[in-house]
Amino acid sequence: MKQSFAIIGLGRFGASVCTTLVETGQEVLAIDRDEDRVNEYMDIATHAVVANAEDEMALRSLGLRNFDHVIIAIGEDIQASILVTLMAKEMGVKRVTAKAQNLYHAKVLEKVGADHVVHPERDMGERVAHHLISKNILDY
């Protein structure tokens, strides 16, 4: 079934999530405060808009609460990532996935209500290690 996603932050992680969701036929609203990034995804995402996600009124006017799933893909600005996660949950978004930079960041994201926290570098490291081990076993 087609679901609606809003992605906040079009860095490497957010952009990759956006492209993959669109390829699988999902509806995706891409949001970034950087106009150049948004222009890059204008023809890829279903909708792409320039907005500062720390601006609650902007998130409300984009109808964030109506999306099935919101992905907070802001990385370096930990304060913004926490604030936007909190606001999305307070607005009533049912499923919020947030990207964490480190374990402390992850803990706070969980505390403010993130339903799912991902650590792309750590998670990918684990997957690669498991893949290497299973490949070794097969090779053996």
Where along the sequence are the contacts to ligand ATP (CB under 6 A)? Answer: 8-14, 31-34, 37, 52-54, 74-77, 80
- Please enumerate in sequence order all residues whose Cβ is within 8 A of that of 44, keeping only pairs 6 or more positions apart, or say none: 18, 19, 22, 30
* CB nearer to ligand ATP: pick between 54 and 68: 54
Tell me how far, at minimum, the Cβ of 64 lies from ligand ATP, in Å.
12
* CB nearer to ligand ATP: pick between 16 and 134: 16
* CB nearer to ligand ATP: pick between 43 and 76: 76
CB 84 within 8 A of CB 61: no
* CB nearer to ligand ATP: pick between 12 and 135: 12
For residue 71, the SS3 value is: strand
Beta strands 47-50; 116-118: pairing state = unpaired
Tell me how far, at minimum, the Cβ of 80 lies from ligand ATP, in Å.
4
- Please enumerate in sequence order all residues whose Cβ is within 8 A of that of 41, keeping only pairs 6 or more positions apart, or say none: 10, 15, 18, 30, 32, 48
Tell me how far, at minimum, the Cβ of 18 lies from ligand ATP, in Å.
11
Tell me how far, at minimum, the Cβ of 1 lies from ligand ATP, in Å.
28
